[in-house]
Structure 1
């Protein structure tokens, strides 16, 4: 489905990003694993991807830094030849009630989650435009659709990604570049690994269970593949019905 494609995945050393990288590799894409600090984890993802018969390389980058993102995209283009797919998955949380939230916590989350996506899109867009094709998948959240108490910064960043997705989709559609967003709900990662089946948050999910990272990864692969060439500007929830 993705054979021969060159994919860039930010925040790919763990969780959903890792699952997306390995799913893309399974479908035949060469993957650039972008990580913030955990080189060991990123290299492990590369090894697992390479075992599937594709090329995989790790690149350390603070996506919130405009120039650093530019240099990283240039390195990836030099080593992979081009970029066909960009997945903006890198994200952080600095939760807290709005009455007590520090300005630095608000800024840090917006800088990584939203500006980081802008930076990567900005520097990959010339490649996409030259190729006259490309796929962008932005990782939003149901928090960006519904809001979430204690996450004003995170929810704002994820809502901003939805607006960014729709604007980029309109701007680049004529160049055959599709830009879509995925809005996961509660997904089984390190943060939710200890949740029991009777956890109160699970009670709010109509399907009555936590989703798996593979659920998100499969959708990302679909949106990155040529089969979805007429889908752009969409926000697709993977939440078990939580945001109905």
Structure 2
């Protein structure tokens, strides 16, 4: 029986690359889409044309009850989740002087609360079965900070604190918990940055002189989801082209 991998925010960009990579490893891949997403069916159809039988479930990852209901539906219709990739995230960039509580809360709930919301309903089952992989997608800006991103940097840094603590609790049960901190990747979110800012301020900070590719991050997720990664837990792996070394 195929193991089941759940990737939050898997439609497009990094999440889509992760879905494709995990499917290639033999996982039954499931993803989530937000309640306001009207193109989910179109995305699944396009993936089927490419030969990928992905399942998608509507879920507001920032809402605990919505996350629980999503996991219940997946368990009932497909089976228990063996690999969880907490990838869903948003930005609401502005200086702290201009930031209001609404934009702080939106980023914290979607980027950090969601990690609890999605992990809580699947973790006990992984422990009981004696096998599981939890991969949290953080950011280089959670490690080094970024101008105009107090909300985003705080949420992404918090993800790794969660990773380390949970990794200690489940280490003897065959469940690993790890963080990946990508640098600037050529996704829709990054490409939305003003081209002049991207070329004049961001890329020159990257020793490799380019943006990362979603497939490169997906390859690292795939390793962490594999049998070979069984001895790796509680880690925060930077993959940023040398932009930030810690």
Q: Does the TM-score normalized on the shorter chain lie above 0.5?
A: yes
Secondary structure at the counterpart of residue 148 of structure 1 = coil
Secondary structure at the counterpart of residue 83 of structure 1 = coil
In the alignment, the residues of structure 2 paired with residue 233 and residue 25 of structure 1 have an alpha-carbon distance, to the nearest angstrom, of: 25
Residue 25 of structure 1 contacts residue 49 of structure 1 at CA under 8 Å; is this kept in 2? no
Residue 156 of structure 1 corresponds to: 154
In the alignment, the residues of structure 1 paired with residue 183 and residue 51 of structure 2 have an alpha-carbon distance, to the nearest angstrom, of: 32
TM-score (norm. length: structure 2):
0.92
In the alignment, the residues of structure 2 paired with residue 186 and residue 234 of structure 1 have an alpha-carbon distance, to the nearest angstrom, of: 20
Correspondences of 1:190-205 after superposition (within 5 Å):
190-193=188-191, 195=195, 198-205=199-206
Residue 69 of structure 1 contacts residue 119 of structure 1 at CA under 8 Å; is this kept in 2? yes
In the alignment, the residues of structure 1 paired with residue 228 and residue 47 of structure 2 have an alpha-carbon distance, to the nearest angstrom, of: 23
Please state how far the C-alpha of 1:189 moved relative to its aligned partner.
0.9
Gap regions ≥5 residues in structure 1: none
Q: State yes or no: 1:226 paired with 2:224.
A: no
Match of 2:138 among 133, 137, 140: 140
Gap regions ≥5 residues in structure 2: none
In the alignment, the residues of structure 1 paired with residue 50 and residue 20 of structure 2 have an alpha-carbon distance, to the nearest angstrom, of: 8
TM-score (norm. length: structure 1):
0.93
Residue 243 of structure 1 corresponds to: 244
In the alignment, the residues of structure 2 paired with residue 53 and residue 127 of structure 1 have an alpha-carbon distance, to the nearest angstrom, of: 30
Residue 32 of structure 2 corresponds to: 34
Residue 20 of structure 2 contacts residue 52 of structure 2 at CA under 8 Å; is this kept in 1? no
Structure 1 vs Structure 2 CA RMSD:
1.8
Q: 1:140 to 1:97 in 2, by over 3 A?
A: same
Residue 25 of structure 1 corresponds to: 23
Deviations 1:169-211 (A, max 9, x none): 1111111100001101000011333747843210000111110
Residue 184 of structure 2 corresponds to: 186
Match of 2:124 among 113, 122, 126: 126
